[in-house]
Amino acid sequence: MSEPLSISAVSKPSSIAPPAAMVHGDPCTLVIFGAAGDLAQRKLFPAIYHLAKKGLLADDFRIVGVGIESLDDAAFRARMRAALDRSDDVRDVDGATWADVEARLFWLTGNLTEPTVYAALRARLESLETNARESTRNRLFYLAVPPQIFPSIVLHLGESGAATRVDDPGARPWRRLIVEKPFGHDLASAEALSRGVLAHFAEHQIYRIDHYVGKETVQNVLVLRSANAIFETLWSRANVSHVEVTAAETVGLEGRAGYYEKAGVVRDMFQNHLLQCVALAAMEPPREPTANAVRDEKVKVLRAVRPLVDGGRASAIHAQYAHGTIGEKEVAGYREEPGVDPRSVTPTYAALRLYVDNHRWQGVPFYVRSGKRMKKRVSEVALHFRAPQRLMYEPVPTERLAPNVLVLRIQPDDGVALGFTVKVPGAALALTPGIEVQEVRMNFDYADAFGAESHPAYETLLLDCMIGDATLFTRTDEVEAAWRIVDPLLEHWAARADDAIPTYAAGTWGPPEADDFIAHDGHAWRTP
């Protein structure tokens, strides 16, 4: 392929509705359970800092961190300042912005499983809200803690009165709950967790957060389709041969063996992130631009997915990384990682063949793959279009024509690329075998078009929580529909745990079985 043709933004941005980035967050108190932990320090506080720097936090906005650490307000503020200094998302901490954020930070020490903490929390919130108008005494609770203590926190919040179930979405002051993934370990645990949360919060109060959906290019899937007639009219089985969804990582466990040994790649990546990408790519245009209309269409896609296990056979393969080389560095195999069982059969790679049995996508395979310790870090959605039925110049063999591919790059180089075939200059334009054709690519890069400044996913998602826009968050029925897709596959593999799991060398694109898996249908994996 020749060098890609670049595409730049050619007009000023236009909007159908005011973008979230232009809307100030509602006045509220953000309570972060586990605020001294890794998630808060690496992701939440850099996002809050950026919102403050852009002037998007309400004047009456404050943060109460809650955790078992013995801190006071000053120590908590010092810890968060140190976190910003270490953050890859913050280049240089602006003094004025930090002073603004620092004055909003407060700390409460306590064991999150003890009811007494929540009585103290309620008293602290009421004290901080003393000068706020009744209608602005909003509370946003963030569960930045291990999922096993979600039920305890929700129960004590409800019983203490610090948070209450509000059935009217328009009621003020509002109470909202942000829940991090994983939402359950399987369908049964997800349903149990939902019952516990819904006992104290209405569905509209619950924001199940998936940072993957907060990425600009994931959101752009809908805009690219709906705002460009040339794509929307082609976006179906009539024109698309197959779809690839790839999320490849070069990293290994990074000290998370305890979590990963129980989760594996399907729970870690497919049940949430990648099925979200499939749903966004395959959904019908919503009837109206509302959160529930968008989520209704995503649920329809997930419910239309054909079972992955049929007659004892799975439409999927899995594997585990072995010793290999990433870049020029030798890395250990999965079973040699600290904390991993030397006989572990936990998969670190999987490839699934999904069929969405509806009118638009009937018969079109969606190949979804993800793995750790792979050759390159990349996430993308690629639509492969069908080959032309008939060639104008018959001497050019059909097999020499690369099918058109539309690639939506999610990370690391956010953008869109379109591959198509052209005539090579100099060859005779005649019905002779001498004509030459070649694939070229038009490439749009977000950074080139709109500047290099990134918008971290958590920045978008936190602001959406503050303004009450649930479009990018997962509803109960959507969570359960996703588990219904992957649960039978996990059970199928668990029943065969005594079988040897295939392996692939770290630093490659996966096991040979993955190539055979897609070649069975006459396709090959795209090399990003």
Q: Where is 407: in which H helix or E strand? A: strand 405-411
Strand pairing class (316-322; 503-505): parallel
Residues 468-516: tens digit of each pLDDT: 999 999 999 999 999 999 999 999 999 998 888 999 999 999 999 999 9
- Residue pair 502/361 in contact (Cβ under 8 Å)? The answer is no
The percent of residues in the chain predicted with pLDDT above 70, rounded, is 91
Residues 376-412: tens digit of each pLDDT: 999 999 999 998 766 655 555 555 567 899 999 988 8
Amino acid 398: pLDDT: 53
The rounded distance, in Å, linking the Cα atoms of 41 and 306 is: 40
pLDDT at 17 over 70: no
The rounded distance, in Å, linking the Cα atoms of 163 and 167 is: 13
- Residue pair 225/348 in contact (Cβ under 8 Å)? The answer is no
The rounded distance, in Å, linking the Cα atoms of 200 and 196 is: 7
The rounded distance, in Å, linking the Cα atoms of 257 and 371 is: 15
The rounded distance, in Å, linking the Cα atoms of 430 and 365 is: 38
Q: How many CB atoms lie within 10 A of CB 220?
A: 20
The rounded distance, in Å, linking the Cα atoms of 500 and 344 is: 10
Amino acid 15: pLDDT: 41
Q: Is 123 helix (H, G, I), strand (E, B) or coil?
A: helix
Residues 304-326: tens digit of each pLDDT: 999 999 999 999 999 999 999 99
The rounded distance, in Å, linking the Cα atoms of 64 and 32 is: 6
Could you tell me the two tokens for 145? 């803690």
Catalytic residue set: 273
* 58-80 mean pLDDT: 96
The CATH 3.40.50.720 portion of the chain extends over 27-173
The CATH 3.30.360.10 portion of the chain extends over 213-308+325-519
- Judge residue 218's burial from the number of C-beta atoms within 10 Å of its C-beta, 0-12 exposed, 13-18 middle, 19 or more buried: buried
Amino acid 4: pLDDT: 53
The rounded distance, in Å, linking the Cα atoms of 338 and 348 is: 15
Select the CATH number that applies to the domain covering 27-173 from these four: 2.40.40.20, 3.40.50.720, 3.40.190.10, 3.40.50.11900.
Answer: 3.40.50.720
pLDDT: which is higher, 211 or 333: 333
Residues 90-120: tens digit of each pLDDT: 889 999 999 999 999 999 999 999 999 999 9
pLDDT: which is higher, 452 or 286: 286
pLDDT at 365 over 50: yes
Give the mean pLDDT of the chain. 89
Select the CATH number that applies to the domain covering 213-308+325-519 from these four: 3.30.360.10, 3.40.50.1860, 3.90.1150.50, 3.40.50.2000.
Answer: 3.30.360.10
The rounded distance, in Å, linking the Cα atoms of 79 and 206 is: 29
